[in-house]
Amino acid sequence: MSKTALICGSYAFDSIMVFHDQFKNHILPDKVHMLNVSFLVPTMRKEFGGCGGNIAYNLHLLGANSVPMATVGEDFTPYMNWMQKQHMNTEYIKVIEGSYTGQAFITTDMDDNQITAFHPGAMSNSHENKVSDAAAADIGIVSPDGRDGMIEHAKQFADAKIPFIFDPGQGMPMFSGEELITFIKQATYVAVNDYEAQMLQDKTGLDLTIIASMVKALIITKGGEGSQIHAKGEVIQIPPAKAQSTQDPTGCGDAYRAGLLYGIMNDMDWKTTGQLAGLLGAIKIAYEGTQNHTFDLAEIKQLYQQNYGESLF
């Protein structure tokens, strides 16, 4: 019987704009206290996003039983239609009346610097969903979401003895060092990028060795340099997979986390799990947007063999 992953995290619309210049040419360092700038962005695209949505989408492409849980706004209909078209589970997507779905407005310059404004909208009600509302899950993930929802869902996973990944992402600044330590104690795995890993150490006062000793695995992604997995007192270096092109890094971390979940659900060793996760990130980066790429398990097996010289299964 296949395992089920319950994915607690945000759903959002991403409005992505590209500024065909460099921010530094238009932001005067001695005038930042009275900043008033306007960036002409000739093109804009609106994408389906949100960490929970992206993770669920990638895990679904792998053929796993991916069950997302989130709160969304009254404007969610196009996204819901997309999910249903992909035959994804929408049972625990709760619409909050009078709210917008989370909205990210991202402007990127020619140096890949980003200025983002984020409106949480219905995300702030994520605590209204409870882990116990869903059918039995074998594993979970707490990814960026409403603050109260992240706290409640982590506690609910821990109380139900369901192993889960704590993936604080851009939500980390919402929590104190004490709160982050509580998350780590509750979690089975922690996944962060290298910048977040440093922030996690700074806020908690714990070094990576101590954090890793508190969970089954601490996973740190490093973009084009690959990733590393701290598990069982060892540090496993995961080489990067080869990307066909580099179009858009947004959502690569979420694709990686889907690979983590799949590896754990299928009892893969950490090296294989990390390599699969890295491969998913490399596939995503070749596409604009976070859910415009497609693949199936047969294609993944082939690409895994090409990248790592060994079989996935």
Per-residue pLDDT reduced to its tens digit, 258-313: 999 999 999 999 999 999 999 999 999 999 899 999 999 999 999 999 999 999 98
Q: Does this model's pTM top 0.95?
A: no
Q: How many H-runs (helices) and E-runs (strands) does the chain carry?
A: 9, 13
Calculate mean pLDDT across residues 230-240: 97
* Residue 192, CA distances (Å) to 68, 198, 219, 229, 274 in order: 20, 9, 6, 11, 13
pLDDT tens figures, 144-193: 999 999 999 999 999 999 999 999 999 999 999 999 999 999 999 999 99
pLDDT of residue 245: 93
**Position 2 pLDDT exceeds 90:** no
Residue 18's pLDDT is 87
Q: What is the average pLDDT score of the chain?
A: 95
Q: What does the pLDDT average to over 41-52?
A: 93
Distance separating alpha carbons of residues 108 and 21, to the nearest angstrom: 9
- Cα separation, 117 vs 119, in Å, equals 7
With beta carbons less than 8 A apart as the criterion, state whether 165 and 261 touch. Answer: yes
Mean pLDDT of 210-224: 97
| pLDDT at res. 1 | 55
pLDDT > 90 in the chain, percent = 86
| % pLDDT > 70, the chain | 100
In degrees, to the nearest 5, what angle opens at C-alpha 176 toward C-alphas 171 and 179? 90
Q: What is the pLDDT of residue 195?
A: 94
According to DSSP, residue 92 is labeled E
pLDDT above 80: residue 31: no
Residue with tokens 């990210």: 104
pLDDT tens string 110-138: 887 888 888 999 999 999 999 999 988 99
Query: Which residues is 49 bridged to in the sheet?
Result: 12
Stretch 17-22: mean pLDDT: 92
Residue of 219, 225, 230 whose CA lies nearest to 258: 219
CATH topology of domain 4-22+44-308: UDP-N-acetylmuramoyl-L-alanine:D-glutamate ligase (3.40.1190)
Distance separating alpha carbons of residues 239 and 228, to the nearest angstrom: 9
**Domain-by-domain residue ranges, the chain?**
4-22+44-308
The answer to whether the beta carbons of residues 154 and 187 sit under 8 Å apart is yes
Q: Give the tokens for residue 186.
A: 């509750």
